[in-house]
Chains A and B, each alone.
Chain A
Amino acid sequence: MEVDIHGAPIYFEIPIFGGIPITGTLVVTWGVMIVLTALCAWMTHGMKVRDISKKQAVAEKIYEMLNNLVRNNMGEKWMGYLPLVTAIFGLSVCSSLSSLLGLWAPTADVNTELAWALVVFILITRHKIKGHGLKGYLKGYLDPIFVMAPFNVLGEIFTPISMAFRHFGNIVSGYVISALIYAALIAANHALFRLLPGLVGSLLAEIPILGVGIPAVFSLYFDWFGSFIQAFIFCMLTMIFISTAED
């Protein structure tokens, strides 16, 4: 039984700056971006004030939900972060769900989440400095006494890392478990139908009958549930960390 668990596929390298690898992560992300943008453009195309179409109702409902999410978790003065939260949520959900289409999920590459977390980290730091002043911000690392400084620095650095790895871990574990289950089902299929005598047995053993249907059940949790819940958690943490940074 061969289980092949690997990272993002590298399609080719752009031979500048010592080679920029174009991975499945990037290609699928671009695809997701195109699809999302096209979807938004289609939904908001020809919007009217009255007698709205179904697609406009959906667009307005989505907007309302996102707006309420940011308003309830961050407050009125943080509404400028609506686009960021929307972008993270949209990219996260669609990236994770792209595995349903047999594509490489960009969220199964830790660089994706690290990129998002890095942006969030920069914003958190910016608001901490804005709220406390540079001196107050640096002084915060010596809290409560100066020997705690290394731990405070670590704590600060691990905020984005834990955010990134929580999301990444959940998605990649789903990916690994799905791969294992699928491989196990193939092996079980092989072993089961081998028991049948003659040509029929060896023929049926080659067709992954058990591979049909059962992985879909697991996919329901790992892909659908996991995708949404992780995107939601990442957005919640983003909003809470940023909005509490100034306090």
Chain B
Amino acid sequence: MGFQELVTIAPWTLILQICNLLIQMLLFKKFLLKPVQNIIKQRQELANADLDAAEAARTEAENAKVEYEKQMSGAREEAAALVRSAAQTAQSRSEQILQEAKEEAAAIRAKASSDIAQERRNAVNEIKNDISGIAVSIASKVVEKEINEADHEALIQEFIDQMGEAV
């Protein structure tokens, strides 16, 4: 087994060492750099996916919140409208009832006053008759058949009518 000189140019060694360097480059690329790069890329993608999912969940939650608030305000408005309409109904109903009651009272009063008028008329007529009878009998007692009964009747009737108007 021989030895080279300590410092010498050996062309074949030089060429083969260049080849070795290039081969080692490819080997490192294939067995170290590419696999690690792939893993790091996968990890990044995973992290990105997680972030995207979190973002989507947040957006969804916000949408749900907006929807909820919208629904809540809608319900509130509905409730207010309900109360308003109920109050309105009650108001109109009470007014109606009051109106009816007033009308009924007015009708009752009208009927009562007409009854009273009727009664009074009846009473006045009755009294007129009574008075005229009494007057005739008094007068007949006074005059003693000087005047016929028909003339007396007319005279007394006139008197009573005047009296009745005064009552």
Contacts and interface: CB of A to CB of B under 8 A. Distances in A.
B39 A60 contact: yes
Given A33-B24, A88-B21, A115-B21, A109 B32 contact: no
Contacts of A10: 1-4
A151 interface: no
B150 interface: no
A91 B25 CA distance: 10
Main secondary structure of the interface of B (DSSP, over half): helix
Contact of A5 (B6, B17, B36): B6
Contacts of A74: none
Interface stretch (B8-16, B52-60, B102-110, B140-148): B8-16
Interface string B14-48: 11111011111111110111011111101100100
Contact of A118 (B5, B14, B26): B14
Interface residues of B, number: 39
Contacts, number: 142
Contacts of B5: 6-7
A88 B8 CA distance: 21
B163 interface: no
A97 interface: no
B53 to A, nearest CB: 16
Contacts of A7: 3-8
Nearest to A44: B35
Nearest to B42: A49
Contacts of A63: 32-33, 36-37, 40
Interface in A16-55: 17, 20-21, 23, 25-26, 29-30, 33, 36-37, 40-41, 43-44, 47-49
Given A7-B7, A41-B31, 18 more contacts: A7-B6, A8-B3, A29-B17, A30-B20, A33-B27, A44-B32, A47-B36, A47-B39, A49-B43, A62-B32, A84-B25, A87-B21, A87-B25, A110-B9, A111-B9, A114-B14, A115-B21, A116-B17
Interface of B: 1-10, 12-18, 20-29, 31-33, 35-40, 42-43, 46
Interface of A: 5-11, 17, 20-21, 23, 25-26, 29-30, 33, 36-37, 40-41, 43-44, 47-49, 56, 59-60, 62-63, 82-84, 86-88, 90-91, 106, 109-112, 114-116, 118-119, 168, 172
